[in-house]
Homo-oligomer: A and B are copies of this chain.
Amino acid sequence: MAAWGERLAGVRGVLLDISGVLYDGGEGGGAAIAGSVEAVARLKRSRLKVRFCTNESQKSRADLVGLLQWLGFDVSEGEVTAPAPAACLILKQRGLRPHLLVHDGVRSEFDQIDTSNPNCVVIADAGEGFSYQNMNKAFQVLMELENPVLFSLGKGRYYKETSGLMLDVGPYMKALEYACGIKAEVVGKPSPEFFKSALQEMGVEAHEAQ
């Protein structure tokens, strides 16, 4: 393995994941992963630019940053790239009015979005919100559209909480894709557009990022 100095030659910026990298969610908010608070602090003291790029879609950016700060991380809202704000941009650009199947914690990110008479569906990691009734409602909205459009904030299979593995949004995206015979548009990782927007916000090119 190359030495760090060599590996970081030409690197100007670092994108950091949050859930499962900086902290594990769970009861009482979760717990920082050993060494991660200090690692972020060291990166910030270095010459490297740092940006946080997350698929977290249960919380608004404000709530997520509040939690991270409470866990000891040096992070501000403006340093975080997250799927819900990216989805809002797309909805506005395309004149789409979503039916939202999202966690209550992230709903405030959509406050400026018209959700009347929906012509698309947005799903995110809704946790307990993925009830049969809510899934069936999203399904019915899609089936009533001539051209059903489904956005999924990420497509993760599952994530780890301190209490165990938890189903993420991906399985529910697959469920609606199969039910309606459609393909979802993923907003968030691993979508290249999402990474690009994070790099732009950091002000570095892809080949300069780690």
Partner-B contacts on A (CB < 8 A): 126-133, 135-136, 139-140, 143, 157-158, 164-168, 170-172, 174-181
Is the pair A130, B140 in contact by a Cβ cutoff of 8 Å?
Answer: no
Is the pair A158, B139 in contact by a Cβ cutoff of 8 Å?
Answer: yes
Instruction: Report the separation of the CA atoms of residues A112 and B131 in the bound assembly, to the nearest whole angstrom.
Output: 30
Given the complex, which residues of B lie within 8 Å of A170, measured CB to CB? 178-179
Known: A136-B167, A175-B175. 16 other contacts (CB 8 A): A126-B132, A128-B132, A131-B132, A132-B167, A139-B158, A139-B167, A139-B171, A140-B164, A140-B165, A158-B179, A167-B175, A170-B178, A171-B176, A171-B179, A172-B175, A174-B175
User: How many copies of this chain?
Assistant: 2
- Give the residue name and chain of the B residue nearest to A134 (CB): B132
Q: Which of A140, A166, A168, A175 has the most CB of B within 10 A?
A: A175
Instruction: Report the separation of the CA atoms of residues A155 and B126 in the bound assembly, to the nearest whole angstrom.
Output: 24
CB distance from A128 to the nearest CB of B (A): 5
Instruction: Report the separation of the CA atoms of residues A179 and B158 in the bound assembly, to the nearest whole angstrom.
Output: 7
CB distance from A167 to the nearest CB of B (A): 5
Instruction: Report the separation of the CA atoms of residues A140 and B171 in the bound assembly, to the nearest whole angstrom.
Output: 14
Is the pair A157, B132 in contact by a Cβ cutoff of 8 Å?
Answer: no
CB distance from A102 to the nearest CB of B (A): 13
Is the pair A179, B157 in contact by a Cβ cutoff of 8 Å?
Answer: yes
